[in-house]
Structure formats: structure tokens, C-alpha cells
Amino acid sequence: MKNHLAKIITVLFSLTFVACGSDSSSTSELDTSAELTTSDGAVENESTDIEFTLSSESMVNNGDLPVMFTCDGDSISPPLTWSGAPENTSEYALIMHHVPGADEAKWYWIMYGIDAGINSINTGDFEGVLGTNSVNGLNEYAAPCSQGTGAKSYIFTLYALSESPELSNVLSVDRESLLTAMADITLNSVDLTVNFERFADVELTRCETIQQSVSEAGFNESVGVTCDNEYAYISSDTYPDHELMNGITGTNEQLPVPATNYAAPIKLAPQVATNLTTIDAAVGVAVNGVPIYDYSSQGELDLYTYDADSDTVALGQLDNCGGHAGRGDDYHYHASPNCMIDTLPNNDDGTIIGWGYDGYPLYGDNNPDGSAITAGDLDVCNGQIDYDFGYRYHTSNQAPYIIQCLVGEVDTSILPRVSPLSGDTHGARANLTPPQGGVENLLHTMSDDGTRTMSYNYNNTSYYVRYTPSTTQSDCYDFEQKTVSNGGIIETGTFCRDTQMEDNLSTQSHTFKLEAWSDNWFAAYLGNELIIEDSVSITTERSFNAESVTFSGTYPMQLNFILKDYKENDTGLEYIGQSNQQMGDGGFIAQITDTDTNQVIAVSNEEWKCEVLHQAPLDKSCESEINPIVGAGSCTFNRSEEPNDWKESSFDDSIWDYATQHSVADVSPKGGYDDISWHETAQLIWGADLETDNTLICRITIDKP
């Protein structure tokens, strides 16, 4: 499709207002008030100011938010209407947010770029451009689903703007970035506040409860939760976003290294077991994805006899946050994750801070209702009966500090263990032991390039362990160290984190979101299964729009696309016989998001393999033919059929060309393109020639990130 701009002739009329009298023409200010005469003959001014209002046919200010607009109803957005905006309003923006605590905010709906001529939004609809919400990080309305007792207030704020907010350098438009961009261009704003209290009889599934515990703790961007019929899998890289390692005196000279694709299985239907289970490894996971161990430094515990010689807290082996790096250079907690708790937006006694592998939740030092736990309330596993979940674990100031054993049934054979670093052929990272008597001044830092350094003093000598992510190998790290354990010599090496943990997670079904725009039409397939076909039929060169669809799949994933530009026949032309007869031009852009992790896992770019099935006209002078005839003169074409097995993952596309990236200026996308917030790496693609390549098939294989 090409865009032809008609010539626009603008006629300017000058209206001259001339004052009557002996003076020459003059200009006077327009009086915007009217004089009214009262019954006693006095004169008063009536202001023409109009109140800026925001309302809804479904709710009233300070009233209730109907259930249909929440996660307990249809999860659709409500209708809104406004009026009385300032006269020089250029466009509008809207934010829906909720404030759960001091200096905190969650936002559920963001729109900007709403045309000044619009004064309403229909149920389930939106105007302008959608920004991200804080619930799942997607560009959509997130239905309120807040937990806890009492009514919650949700505020819709409409902003009248004098110009468009500058957001060109913002990758993901959230509440903070939009508020910053609007700070100096807001003419006026108006609020509509509604309240909602979730009904006591609305129950979440255990999977939803686990997902919510992660989301409400603010870790939905770094931690994923997927479920099958038996388990919820909490996936992460085990590396926390709080400070770590500082405060340790009894260091084992290990340094935390991320462990990508770690997937902790949490039972969805827990049952109390006949026997208690102890594990010389993780017994659960915190909501930030960091594994939880019992209090001991190594070996399985005698549950009924406290062992001071293996108490990681008493030995000074834990940092200020309750964790440290283990023998595999992996970070985990042995006590209350204090630093994580301090960062939680929902930090109160009713907050779930972790899960045991048996499916029971972990709370803090107090009961969920805020009451204190007294001596004798907690059993040997550091837990007690819970009327909502059947059982719950707690943290405590005294040993065992955190989960000591599991009361529920658990299959220990499937529990994950962080893979140790490989490539250490000289044993530089093996057999490290805590220096006798402890170290001083241990400090952990991280540089902008990802370099982590742990420095410390022992017997008036400085030691350190340092690594930098490898630039040539994934999940590999370039180490340099001077340790007490190895005699203070300088050692170097590149060590890698094995990724066998990925198998458990990658075989689980994920939910994905495909967002795409095409000029003019596309269809997308997961393997041979149709995911979506463009909802606008390709019957005109104006048939283009944006599409969005969610679907389920597993890694690795084979996505296949059929792309078509409109043509009237095999000449490849549009508007045949008319004054604007022309060749069309195509263009396609897409991005795929794993909604379980809120990560964009693939975008259209020059790495896609594409095959052109229809090309016309082969001679572009056909565009100027008075009577273009298919296959005659300059109006010849090439056409081939799609291979029978091209959608199969085993198909050999090595002889296909790579997609060609095209600029926005060349494609000139319209009709829905701006409705999607494209990832910065997403590119418009097509065949090498936008005009003559009419039909393409493209493929991309997506591996687990």
C-alpha cells in the first residue's frame, strides 16, 4: 500500500475589526463575563468557567467499583465520559491507580495520546496508546484483584494536556514515566475515585494464590510462576535485587553467581505427610525466587537437637539479609530474608514471603493477623496449623530461624539443585573453607558492567574474589581471585553455570502474547496450528490493522507466518485503470512476550528466514502501463507454492533468505501500528523489495531465554 497525499489548498481570510469613532482601528480584549441585573438593580458578573468533570455511567465518585470490572468479574475496563476541558487542550491521558501504602502506588490502566476530540471511552475499549500496568507489565487494562480485608480505593485521573508528552526515549511507558513527561504540559486534571472490597467467598485457586504472592510482592518482572495439574513452578535466576554478602565474618570465600532457569516446584494440593522431611539443600523458595535452606551449614539436621557448630547465624556465615553463597557459588537464605521483606510494597504480617516445597506458605515473625507468636506455638519445623492453608511456616529470631523441615508430602527426587560452576579444572573454586577466626571488612560490590567483587581482610592481608560476565559465552563468568584457602595466589579462569535445570521448566506450558501489525494481511501458526488470522480481510489496499492474541506453548517454539500485501491480480498492482495505479508496498512487525515472565522473547528482525512466494511486477514499468495485462509485456510475475512441510520444526530453511529490515519512513505504517508499544529491538521486515514482493512465508524458532 502506498500513501498518496492530495494537494491541499488553504484559503486564508483576514477579518479586520475596526472600531467606530475618530480613532484609527484598535484591538480590545474580549470580555468573557456577562453582566446580570439583580432585583434591587445591582450588577454582578456571571463567570463562564466550565468545570472539568470525569464520570461514568457504571459508577459514581466515591461509590463502588462494579465487580464486572475486577478479576472476580469479567476483567474488562469501565466506561468513562468527560467534559469541560480547558480550551487549548491538545490531547488527554488517563491513569488508574491504587495506593496500598505510604509512598507506594500500583497502576492498572494507562492511556495517552487520546485525541482532544474524544470525550468518552466505551466498556472494554481504549483510546490513544496503552502504557504498561504494574500487575503484569503488559500494555492492557489490569483488573483490580487486591487482597486483604477492607475496601480498597482506585483512582481514575484524566489529564488535559497542552501538547503530546515526550516519550520517544521511554521503552516502557509506566505511571512514573508518563507523570514525568506530563509534568510541565498538564493544563488541568480531574479524579474519579471508586472503592472495591473483594467478597469473602471469592476464592483463588492455589496456583493463582502463589502467582499473586509473587506479583503483590513486586517480583512479577523477575520471577515467573507457571502451573500444571500438580505443581506451581517459581522460576528465577536465584539472584536477589537487594544488597548481599555484606556483614559476613565467617565467609567460605564463595561469591554468588546467577543460576538462570531455576524452577522451584510447589505442590498445589498439599497433604500432611506421615513423616517429616529434612533436606541437605533447599526446602522452599522465597517470593523473590531465592531458595530457602534450613539453618545448618551442611549435612542433614537432627531435628530435635540444636547444633551450634552448624548454625550459619551463630557462625557469622550469613549476610545482613539472611543469606550467603553456598558451595556452588549460589545465593540462598538460611534465616529470615530481612532485606527482601523491607522492600516489599505489601510489607505486613499477612504477607506470604515464601513457599515450602510441600505447598505450605511461609510468613514472617508474627501471625498473619498481627498477633505475636508466643513460646511453644511453633513446632519443630517452625510452623503451626493455619485455618486457610491447613499449615504455615514462620521465620523467628531464634533457631531454627526459618523452615527447618517439611511437614507435607514432597517428592525429593524432583527437587532442583543449583548446578555447580563447571570448567574449574584446576580446582580454584573447589575446597574453599572459612578462614579460621573469621575475616574483617568484607565488602561486596557490583559494577555497571556486571562485575561482582567481594573483598575482605584476614590477618592484615587483603583478599578478593571477582568475576565478570563473559562476553563470548552465555552463563559463563571470567573469575580472578586471591583467597585464603588457596594460599593467597592469584588465580584466574572462566567458569560456567550448567543449565540442566532448564529441562524441567521448558517442558511446562507457558502463556505467550503475540502482537503484530501488517501491511496488509498476515496469519500466524504455532507449528501447524493456526494462532491468529488477520481480522481484516485483504480486500483493499487499506486493509491493515494491529492484532494481539495470547496462546499456550512450550520451548523451543516454532512460529510460522504468512504475509501478504494487497494486489488486484498477478500484475501486483493496485487501482488498476485509475489515475493512481501503482505497485503496493508491504511491511510487517511483531513481538512475542512470555506472559509468565513478562519478558519479550522474540521480535521481528533480520534473523527471521523468509521465502518470497509471489513477486510482481518483475518489470516495475508495468506500473505505468495504460492497460496492464497479467503476464504480458512488462507485467510478468513469479509465483510458487509453499512447501508442504514448511511449518514443521524439522524443515530445512537454510536456502531461504533472511528477512530484510525496512525503516518506518519506507513502510509508512498506519492503521493500528501506534496502538502497540513496540520493543526497541522490534523491526519492520519484508522481502528485499517492498513493492514487488507480494506474498512471503517466514519462520522463527524461539528457544528458552
Question: Do 181 and 217 sit in the same domain of this protein?
Answer: no
Q: How far is it, in rounded angstroms, from Cα 210 to Cα 351?
A: 12
Question: Do 549 and 447 sit in the same domain of this protein?
Answer: no
Question: Do 176 and 217 sit in the same domain of this protein?
Answer: no
Grid cell, residue 515, equals 502482537
Q: What one-letter code names the amino acid at 129?
A: V
Q: How many CA atoms lie within 13 A of 560 on its CB side?
A: 19
Q: How far is it, in rounded angstroms, from Cα 100 to Cα 146?
A: 9
Could you report the per-residue pLDDT of 322-334, keeping only the tens digit for each?
999 988 899 999 9
Q: How far is it, in rounded angstroms, from Cα 454 to Cα 442?
A: 7
Per-residue pLDDT band for 105 (boundaries 50, 70, 90) equals confident
Closest CA to 555 of 515, 503, 590: 503
Q: How far is it, in rounded angstroms, from Cα 419 to Cα 65?
A: 48
Q: What average pLDDT does the segment 602-618 reach?
A: 96
**What is the pLDDT of the chain when averaged over all its residues?**
86
Owning domain of residue 473: 430-497
The answer to whether position 26 is within a domain reads no
Q: In this structure, are residues 301 and 209 in contact, taking their beta carbons and an 8 Å threshold?
A: no
What is the maximum alpha-carbon separation in the chain? 110
C-alpha 114: how far from chain center:
24
The answer to whether position 166 is within a domain reads yes
Q: How far is it, in rounded angstroms, from Cα 264 to Cα 417?
A: 9
Handedness of CA 295, 298, 304, 308 (dihedral sign): negative
Give burial (CB, 10 Å; 0-12/13-18/19+) of 157. middle
pLDDT of amino acid 250: 95
SS3 state of residue 675 = helix
Q: In this structure, are residues 46 and 37 in contact, taking their beta carbons and an 8 Å threshold?
A: no
The answer to whether position 631 is within a domain reads yes
Per-residue pLDDT band for 216 (boundaries 50, 70, 90) equals confident
pLDDT of amino acid 298: 75
Q: What average pLDDT does the segment 47-61 reach?
A: 83
Q: DSSP letter for 65, please.
A: P
Question: Do 552 and 680 sit in the same domain of this protein?
Answer: yes
Per-residue pLDDT band for 598 (boundaries 50, 70, 90) equals confident
Question: Do 164 and 87 sit in the same domain of this protein?
Answer: yes
Q: What are phi and psi of 664, to 5 degrees?
A: -60, -35
pLDDT of amino acid 399: 95
Q: In this structure, are residues 618 and 638 in contact, taking their beta carbons and an 8 Å threshold?
A: yes
Could you report the per-residue pLDDT of 432-484, keeping only the tens digit for each?
888 999 999 999 999 999 999 999 999 999 999 999 999 988 889 999 999 99
Q: Name the domain boundary from 497, 520, 552.
A: 497
Question: Do 241 and 289 sit in the same domain of this protein?
Answer: yes
Q: In this structure, are residues 78 and 126 in contact, taking their beta carbons and an 8 Å threshold?
A: no
Q: In this structure, are residues 393 and 403 in contact, taking their beta carbons and an 8 Å threshold?
A: yes
Question: Do 274 and 403 sit in the same domain of this protein?
Answer: yes
Per-residue pLDDT band for 346 (boundaries 50, 70, 90) equals confident
Grid cell, residue 255, equals 561469591
Q: What are phi and psi of 414, to 5 degrees?
A: -105, 0
Q: Percentage of the chain with pLDDT > 70?
A: 88
Q: How far is it, in rounded angstroms, from Cα 160 to Cα 557?
A: 44
Question: Do 520 and 610 sit in the same domain of this protein?
Answer: yes
Strands of 278-380 (E only): list them: 284-286, 291-292, 323-325, 331-333, 354-356, 361-363
Q: How far is it, in rounded angstroms, from Cα 320 to Cα 217?
A: 20
Could you report the per-residue pLDDT of 244-256, keeping only the tens digit for each?
999 999 999 999 9
Question: Do 99 and 59 sit in the same domain of this protein?
Answer: yes
The answer to whether position 323 is within a domain reads yes
Q: Where are the alpha helices (DSSP H) in 204-311?
A: 206-216
Question: Do 346 and 234 sit in the same domain of this protein?
Answer: yes
Closest CA to 634 of 651, 616, 653: 616
Q: For the chain, how many helices (H) and strands (E)?
A: 5, 45
Q: In this structure, are residues 110 and 173 in contact, taking their beta carbons and an 8 Å threshold?
A: yes
CB atoms within 10 A of CB 269: 11
Q: How far is it, in rounded angstroms, from Cα 344 to Cα 364?
A: 12
Q: How far is it, in rounded angstroms, from Cα 76 to Cα 233?
A: 28
The answer to whether position 178 is within a domain reads yes
Q: How far is it, in rounded angstroms, from Cα 562 to Cα 610?
A: 10
Q: How far is it, in rounded angstroms, from Cα 313 to Cα 112?
A: 51
Closest CA to 245 of 322, 298, 353, 314: 322
- For β-strands 186-196 and 63-64, DSSP reports them as parallel
Q: Of 194-208, 491-505, 559-573, which one has max mean pLDDT?
A: 559-573
* pLDDT exceeds 90 at position 66: no
Q: What average pLDDT does the segment 271-276 reach?
A: 95
* pLDDT exceeds 80 at position 554: yes
Question: Do 152 and 110 sit in the same domain of this protein?
Answer: yes
pLDDT of amino acid 159: 97
Q: How far is it, in rounded angstroms, from Cα 668 to Cα 401?
A: 61
The answer to whether position 12 is within a domain reads no
Question: Do 62 and 141 sit in the same domain of this protein?
Answer: yes
Closest CA to 332 of 381, 279, 382, 385: 279
The answer to whether position 20 is within a domain reads no
The answer to whether position 460 is within a domain reads yes
Q: DSSP letter for 180, please.
A: H
In the numeric block, the cell 507457571 is attached to 226
| pTM listed for this prediction | 0.51
Q: Of 29-43, 99-113, 129-143, which one has max mean pLDDT?
A: 129-143
Grid cell, residue 651, equals 524443515
The domain total for the chain is: 4
CATH number for the domain harbouring residue 101 = 3.90.280.10
Q: DSSP letter for 642, please.
A: P
* pLDDT exceeds 50 at position 307: yes
Q: In this structure, are residues 444 and 243 in contact, taking their beta carbons and an 8 Å threshold?
A: yes
pLDDT of amino acid 323: 97
* pLDDT exceeds 90 at position 316: yes
Grid cell, residue 487, equals 594460599
Q: Which range has the worst mean pLDDT, 210-224, 240-254, 372-386?
A: 210-224
Proportion of the chain in helix, strand, coil states, percent, rounded to 5: 5, 35, 60
Q: What average pLDDT does the segment 61-72 reach?
A: 86
Q: Name the domain boundary from 440, 463, 497.
A: 497
